[in-house]
Chains A and B, each alone.
Chain A
């Protein structure tokens, strides 16, 4: 049967390179002096400067992971960890410098803001250049701002939560993040406030041989709800760029948070991101993730179900093309009674790309009557690609219902035959099957983002019979 010719992602929009112009770029490398200079440039309070320096000590003590993709090409002596763009933070797109605004225009951010978002944050290199939120949400007490402003204006709230969910000792790149973090978003949704329309932060890395280390901290207070979307992209350069962001989510009693990510970093990016949520009684966190870009990704969002009746769902898709090694998955810790988790992970490998689904489900001794259901499916589109599934299931009590299923294979010949027998061409049949494969994820996204995802997957199958 003819090969399915699935187009590589059209990266024209994402590959727009602006001139590497900045107000300040820290010298490459990682030393206490460099960390102090970042703290000075960012006008950090003393506690934050001390925090950064301690994180650097932890970074120097921790080893690189002994598992997963080979990241030995990463040389921190060749990475500039802080690049300050030539603008301050703005609340009007008109005030954003032309070249930066043009980039976000082409990415469709201001347009999306008008049509379907309640607030937008846009980061360019190491700093947020635009932040805005609807007035009615401000009146209800919702805070949506950049992290630096939060550190200054809400010090107690930030101190109480900053890197408590993800401690710097978690792994080497979290420690690195703690030392050099810059930018990102802070969201606080007060008790019982429902934010019906999503907020979105978009992270753009333009500067070559640099890193982006944004910090996202979201607190959804009791009975409140929020949908938060993050997007990320960068143009491609010859040398590696690094993304080591950190996302900390606190979902309080009876609260709900949906965290959606469309990740489309360039194919020279090492994406070593960390995301974790602490979920309290009867609260719920849902993760929706599309991973398309980067050269190497190691990304495993984690839900810690601390409260009785806490719930989580993870819906994710990875698409690895030529030269990509996407090692992604999900971790959940059931830490209380009646908690539940549902995982639905998919991957597509093509043109020599490698997708790995790596996961952990741990149901602790005190998590009686908990349920967990995991399903992962991998689609191989040729025989030069690789697809691995590496799930760990750690069950420490008997009062549980746990199940895990995984499938690996190519597009079913039978399914193609069935569709063709109904008068559909082979090409269309294959396209339909691949779209159907991705549908459980795209249906979870707001329609504009589902369209973006479909563009990213670019499911148009070309006439490639023979």
Chain B
């Protein structure tokens, strides 16, 4: 099997630091795939146009060329979602991998036209017993004044390989808010590039991840600020148990011309076992003087004092641990407006931490 070299950082550092890319030896990329039939689309389907003809678009980074080429050539789900007005109702896409739909390769384009507003949920599930494969690409165009919420929920099982390449181009005064729940996948590789093209463009990325057993999570977020007064906020909260391993690469890149732009990045990893591993590279790149960039990164175990306090109120250690993790994740989970999904995520946290 060919070694896959994926998720390269925009700037290289020493090879000995083992973070410039991720190498996978145990993953087979299918050359042919069957039709994928288990997609459910619900919610505001009448105000949002959904078609199967995609525009020819370009992804600046992506998880890897082989994955991008595959998604562009043999995707078994192609969706172009066009938003032409403001809608307060949500759109849900639910992809469920099962015995008959073991491979999902989706190529989704979202075009949010000027002055539009929408919330789109994209959810990925896999039946517990299958060893599936998911490779998705998602391109978002947010035109002037568009305000788009994208909620990506990965609740795939721990046997399925998951690859996701996301790319957004954000125009003047447009906003793209990502909420990403990243719990599933044996190898769970995500690349998210966001291009803040014009003045007052804005992007928020709120992510929670949870790793168990031998899961490998490799996250590569890249925000390039080009517009004046543009703004990016990345908040990444995660927890790792067993032998799970996480690589987080987060880049905020202030390009020339991004005067008065702001970028903040905060990453915190809770280590729930002494064999879990956290590798982080929070990068700040700056070619413009009049900007404000901050990043912070921290790792450690659950605070013993807090744990003791909760346990002194009658909780067992495991339950206390769950409460602590949920408390860390709470701000991000609470930003999801759908109660049913919130409950589902909380239940999943309980299951993973059991």
Contacting residues of chain A (63-79) with chain B, CB-CB under 8 angstroms: 65-68
Query: Are A409 and B12 closer than 8 Å at their CB atoms?
Result: no
Query: Are A395 and B279 closer than 8 Å at their CB atoms?
Result: yes
Q: How far is the CA of A167 from the CA of B275 in the complex (A)?
A: 29
Stretch from B22-30, B62-70, B81-89, B298-306 at the A interface = B298-306
A299 to chain B, nearest CB (A): 13
Partner of A360, one of B17, B284, B293: B17
B131 to chain A, nearest CB (A): 29
Stretch from B35-43, B146-154, B159-167, B265-273 at the A interface = B265-273
Partner of B281, one of A381, A392, A405, A410: A392
Q: How far is the CA of A386 from the CA of B299 in the complex (A)?
A: 29
Partner of A388, one of B11, B274, B300: B11
Residues of chain A with a CB closer than 8 A to B277's CB: 394-396
Residues of chain B with a CB closer than 8 A to A405's CB: 294-296
A44 within 8 A of B: no
Closest to A381 in B: B289
Residues of chain B with a CB closer than 8 A to A410's CB: 289-291
Residues of chain A with a CB closer than 8 A to B289's CB: 380-383, 385, 410
Query: Are B288 and A393 closer than 8 Å at their CB atoms?
Result: no
B154 to chain A, nearest CB (A): 24
Query: Are A393 and B280 closer than 8 Å at their CB atoms?
Result: yes
Partner of B299, one of A368, A389, A391, A402: A402
Closest to A392 in B: B17
Query: Are B298 and A388 closer than 8 Å at their CB atoms?
Result: no
Count contacts between A and B, CB distance < 8 Å: 135
Query: Are A398 and B14 closer than 8 Å at their CB atoms?
Result: no
A41 within 8 A of B: no
B278 within 8 A of A: yes
Partner of B274, one of A365, A401, A402: A365
Query: Are B300 and A398 closer than 8 Å at their CB atoms?
Result: yes
A342 to chain B, nearest CB (A): 15
Q: How far is the CA of A278 from the CA of B239 in the complex (A)?
A: 33
B299 to chain A, nearest CB (A): 4
Interface size class of A (residues with CB under 8 A): 35 or more
- The answer to whether residues A398 and B287 also contact, given A390-B281, A407-B294, A409-B293 and a CB cut-off of 8 A, is no
Q: How far is the CA of A335 from the CA of B256 in the complex (A)?
A: 41
Residues of chain A with a CB closer than 8 A to B297's CB: 391, 393, 403-404
A100 within 8 A of B: no
Partner of A391, one of B15, B276, B282, B287: B282
Residues of chain B with a CB closer than 8 A to A387's CB: 286
Partner of A394, one of B15, B17, B285, B296: B17
Residues of chain B with a CB closer than 8 A to A397's CB: 271, 274
B283 within 8 A of A: yes
Q: How far is the CA of A404 from the CA of B277 in the complex (A)?
A: 17
What does the 1/0 interface line of A46-85 toward B look like (CB < 8 Å)? 0000000000000000000111100000000000000000
Query: Are A404 and B293 closer than 8 Å at their CB atoms?
Result: no
Residues of chain A with a CB closer than 8 A to B300's CB: 395, 398, 400-402
Residues of chain A with a CB closer than 8 A to B292's CB: 407-409
Residues of chain B with a CB closer than 8 A to A389's CB: 283-285, 295
- The answer to whether residues A395 and B17 also contact, given A380-B286, A404-B296 and a CB cut-off of 8 A, is no
A197 within 8 A of B: no
**Interface residues, chain A, CB within 8 Å of chain B?**
65-68, 358, 360, 365, 368, 378, 380-383, 385-410
10 A-B pairs in the complex with CB atoms less than 8 angstroms apart? A390-B11, A391-B283, A393-B299, A398-B272, A398-B274, A400-B299, A400-B301, A404-B282, A406-B282, A408-B294
